[in-house]
Amino acid sequence: MSSQKAVAENMLWGGRFTEGLDPLMVQYNESLPYDRIFWKQDILGSLAFARANSRGGILTEHEFSEIERGFKQIAEEWSTNSFVVKANDEDIHTANERRLGEIIGKDIAGKLHTGRSRNEQIATDMRLWLRDELRKLDAFLSDLIKVSIARAEQDIDYLMPGYTHLQKAQPVRWSHWLLSHAVAFASELGRLREVIKRVNKSPLGTGALAGNPFQIDREGMAKELGFDGITINSMNTVADRDFAMETMQWGSSFMLKISRWAEDLIIYSSLEFGFVRLADAYSTGSSLMPQKKNADSLELLRGKAGRAFGHVAGLMMTIKGLPTTYNKDLQESVEPLLDHIKTVGDSIQIATGVLSTLTVIPEKMFAALAPEMLATEFADYLVRKGVPFREGHHISGRVVALAEKNNVPMDTLTLEQLQGIDSRFGPDVRECLDYERAVELKDAIGGTSKRAVREQVEALKAIIRGESA
């Protein structure tokens, strides 16, 4: 018998085939090089399935005990990196079942798969693994938000320019900038927790597509594995990769947010701005220019976002034209999912490291403030004297124009010059040129005053705790 023919016969589906496979096809088809990461989940799912079949009379107590003993040894081999992969180990399911037969004998091991399909196995393994990984991401993301909060509380006195269109707009607190991104991250934390709920449904017991013929207790298996519930249609279950797609959609959304955060910090850390300085641990130098300190960590965060977007786009293109139900194309959901989780998880941790070690230079931030950023304060001053805002806006615009015409900063205009524009300007108009006052006046919920910033901090802490903000 040829080795290729023997390989085909030893695979879980091999009995139907009498000819060997093209060696390249064997390699092209196998998934063990990457789905071996699911070894623990595959064993847990197999034990739950075997236990349910034992309760249903398919397996005797002795047979279940032997299966349990065999898997205990297999788990030890995987955990100590001593599991020996063989040529017919097409995927993690095949490898584990083959090794089980070697340990406890093929007669008992062969009963394990009664009523079960690899279609439901891989869906179960992926959901179990993904659920636990997403819970880790929840912890990572919570830490990033906590660091943002801590820095906002610590640096609450620092003022900086706020920008629209990358043009200086109005003065704000550095803390307000920090929390603007923390709020965006908190939104993603909420979405992540919703994704986890939808991932945590058990496919086990749905068979290849039509269901299980042995009245297996699907809800009991789901409870044993820590699932929140079960999927409700077997055909949909084995074809469904929404849980992977939605995870990648969430990850892409988060990476979009972290990319914008990184872009701000890249700008703020440049010599032209100099608002912040990255720690050496998150920077690199130039091979040619010794004075350079490059924000490579932030640039990589920005770049990895494109990688994450590609994962979800690729999976959606794979799935969109598939007929019902399971098709081998779905194997292509595993590798991008694994890479996506690693990319997003690493990115969150890098961002947390960058922010926790960042040096803030408040003198540079304050020096970047410009009197023209207080033009709206003049309009608001007139509003408080009963002038309609549109009229006040027009008058304050004339103040800016006069400063530009005379080529002087707006705060050097005299009271006489201001009253020449509008007689309602009084001596107290000079108060409008106080940056701290301008910031503190923005005291409504969500504003940049100290009180409003501290209120946002408490709201974010509640979100992390899982309470409504």
Cα 343 from Cα 349, distance rounded (Å): 10
> What's the alpha-carbon Rg for the chain, to the nearest Å?
31
440 domain-assigned: no
- State how beta strands 276-277 and 359-360 pair: antiparallel
How buried is residue 385: exposed, middle or buried, by Cβ count under 10 Å (0-12/13-18/19+)? exposed
Give per-residue burial for 191-226: e unless 16+ CB within 10 Å, then b. Answer: ebeebbeebbbbbbbbbbbebbeeebbbeebbebbe
118-157 pLDDT, tens digit per residue, is 999 999 999 999 999 999 999 999 999 999 999 999 999 9
| Domain identity same for 308 and 386 | no
Residue 59 lies in domain: 31-109
Whether residue 271 is found in the same domain as residue 343? yes
**pLDDT exceeds cutoff 60 at 439:** yes
Question: Omega into 80 within 30° of 0, i.e. cis?
Answer: no
Q: In this structure, is residue 4 part of a structural domain? A: no
pLDDT at position 84 is 98
- The predicted model gives 14-26 an average pLDDT of 70
Domains in the chain: how many in total? Answer: 3
Domain CATH for 345: 1.20.200.10
Q: Given CA atoms 164, 167, 172, 175 in this order, what sign does their dihedral have?
A: positive
Of 74, 109, 144, which residue is a domain's last? 109
Nearest to 244 by CA among 195, 317, 193, 189: 195
Q: Which residues are catalytic?
A: 165, 286
**Percent of residues, the chain, with pLDDT higher than 70:** 94
Report residue 293's pLDDT band, with 50, 70 and 90 as the boundaries: confident
What is the Cα–Cα distance from 381 to 4, expressed in whole angstroms? Answer: 86
90, 94, 95, 101: CA torsion to nearest 10: -140
pTM for the model: 0.92
Residue range 141-199, pLDDT digits in tens: 999 999 999 999 999 999 999 999 999 999 999 999 999 999 999 999 999 999 999 99
